[in-house]
Structure 1
Amino acid sequence: MAALCVLAVSALTLLTGCGEEDPDAGTNGVGRLPARKIQTQSRAAADAAPAVHLAGTVVTGGVTFTLDMRLKSGGGSGSVTSKGSTFQLLRVGDELYVKADAAFWNHGGDTSAAGKLDGKYVKVPQQDPAYRKFSGFTEKDVLLPALLTLHGELATAGHHTQAGTRTIRVTGDGGPGGTLDVSLEGKPYPLRLVRGGGAGTLTFSEWGKDFPAAEPAKSETVDYGGQLPGS
């Protein structure tokens, strides 16, 4: 009789072990939601986060921009590379600064002005066309809503990992409308975005982690006093 009991318990254990594991066990539960609700909760988490670090590429108007930016409500800082040229951006409140080498500023052939701006934080006047062009890269409340958009019919596309974190993937039109990997650990933050139409790929990390964003020293700053070269 004892042997039969042991055999029965062993059989039950074997049968239980053969069942598929729940991929959402121990997660925040968003993987069990419909795709549109996952996207909605992910956007809400991103909007509520005080800061984020994003890196990757954005293609717009046929031009590829490589971004490495840290964003928060009161400012942003990081680098942007386009057409082989890299420049630094720093925004503190409404004050925007661009830092680049002389080659970046020499678009109009004014080598004298380019030499003065070389390697300095150049304050961008708010009425300058360059202000709107550059500030968008530093504004969390502007950039994230524009990026975190999938097009077409939404669906889930399985469980994945991003930098060691478990994710659920949401697709637009099965992929051509973009894909978004959402964290299954902690808050449902967006962790990886592949934009539809080959418009770039971005990763998101350090959600909620603050970073310094202070105005540069006067010795490192130039107030050009007019429209910037190449604006």
Structure 2
Amino acid sequence: MLSKRLACTAAIGLLLATGATACGDNDKATATAAAAAAPKLDTEKLSAEEIQKQAKDALSGASSVKVVGAINKDAEKISVDLAVDTKGQCKGTMSVPGAGKFELIGDGKQVYLKPDTEFLTSVTEGKNPQAVELLKGRYISGVQDDPDMKELTTVCNLKELTKTFGGDDRATNITKGSAGTVNGAKTFSVKSKDSSGGEVTLHVATEGKPYPLRIEKGGKDGGQMDFTEIDKPLTVQAPPADQVIDYSLFKDRVKPA
């Protein structure tokens, strides 16, 4: 249950692999500079496939991005607020309503999790309050050494995460959508169907670099993700050693009493 509860948060990668790629930048200063440096996206001349490719290429050159949104996986709604970069650094939070949330930190060497009391109570099924009291406020290290947690730790590296973007090669019916706005930025949408038949909508910036700004997916495993703060440097520090507990010990302690 523990690894499933934690690894389910990697559904961000699953959403981004549904036939479109996504990220974005709603920082006004960055958007203004990009608009001055690059031409507008010619949505009339470009095909839907070409617009999508330009968005993916723009994302591939990003050094960092912040992901904010919510998606559904295995009947659970997962909320994400996470900044990641190409150095393996990350920081932010992930949560499941009714099951708590945890802080996620990656310093390029280790990935640390800091679950809140609600999360600890959930994974112990409310049967081990002593463990909850002992572990609360602690960071968990060594997560990346567990094969079951690989998807979660991949989320902490933008280089690895971007490999999943557009990973559903069975996406079909890629068509142009319409002009719009996302977080105040002008966009143009591209629509497609993923392998399960769900509709995916990618919103691409039309001014400056054609960064994707939002991705939406319909259906029971759908959701929405916004991508902001592209190329904003991350400053991440590992937590103090006296606040860290090894993942193997954590798994042993959270077993229901």
TM-score, length-normalised on structure 2?
A: 0.70
Unpaired segments of 5 or more residues in structure 2? 1-37
Q: Does 1:132 align with 2:150?
A: yes
Query: What's the counterpart of residue 99 of structure 1?
Result: 114
Does residue 77 in structure 1 map to residue 91 in structure 2? yes
The alpha-carbon distance between structure 1 residues 227 and 130, as it changes in their structure 2 partners (threshold 3 A), is: farther
What's the offset of the Cα at 1:226?
3.0
The partner residue of 1:202 within 220, 225, 244 is 225
**2:243 equivalent to 1:220:** yes
Aligned residues: 205
Deviations, residues 157-203 of structure 1 (Å, cap 9, x unaligned):
12111111111110115x94210000112111110110243511111
Aligned-residue offset at 1:55: 0.6
Q: State the one-letter code of the partner of 2:110.
A: E
Which position in structure 1 is the counterpart of 2:72? 59
Relative to 1, partners in 2 of residues 1:134 and 1:176: Cα closer, same or farther, differing over 3 Å?
Answer: closer
Partner residue in 1 for 2:41: 29
Match of 2:56 in 1: 43
1:112 and 2:130 aligned: yes
**Conserved in 2, the CA contact under 8 Å of 1:46 and 1:189?**
yes
**Percent pairwise identity:** 25
Deviations 1:12-32 (A, max 9, x none): xxxxxxxxxxxxxx9522423
Partners of 2:138 and 2:180 lie apart in 1 by: 43
Q: CA separation of 1:133/1:157 partners in 2, compared to 1, >3 Å: closer, same or farther?
A: closer
> Is the contact between residue 124 and residue 131 of structure 1 (CA under 8 Å) also seen in structure 2?
no
Aligned match of 2:185: 165
Moved more, 112-121 or 48-57: 112-121
RMSD: 2.6
Q: 1:202 to 1:224 in 2, by over 3 A?
A: closer
CA distance in structure 2 between the partners assigned to 1:111 and 1:186 by the alignment: 53
Aligned equivalent of 2:206: 184
Q: Distance in 2 between matches of 1:61 and 1:143?
A: 21
Work out the CA distance in 2 between the residues paired with 1:27 and 1:160: 18
Distance 1:147 1:200, change over 3 A: farther
- Residues 202/51 of structure 1: CA separation in 2 closer, same or farther (3 Å cut): same
Q: 1:143, 1:62 → 2: CA distance? A: 23
CA 29–125 in structure 1, closer or farther in 2 if over 3 Å, else same: closer
Per-residue deviation, 1:217: 2.3
SS of residue in 2 equivalent to 1:126: helix
The change in CA–CA distance for 1:196 and 1:44 in structure 2 (over 3 A counts) is: farther
- Going from structure 1 to structure 2, the CA distance change for 1:59 and 1:145 (only over 3 Å counts) comes to farther
Cα separation, 2, equivalents of 1:127 and 1:86: 21
Which residue of structure 1 lines up, in the alignment, with residue 105 of structure 2? 90
Highest relative contact order (Cα 8 Å, sep 6+), 1 or 2?
Answer: 2
Secondary structure, aligned partner of 1:215:
coil
TM-score (norm 1): 0.77
Contact kept in structure 2, 1:124 and 1:130, CA below 8 Å: no
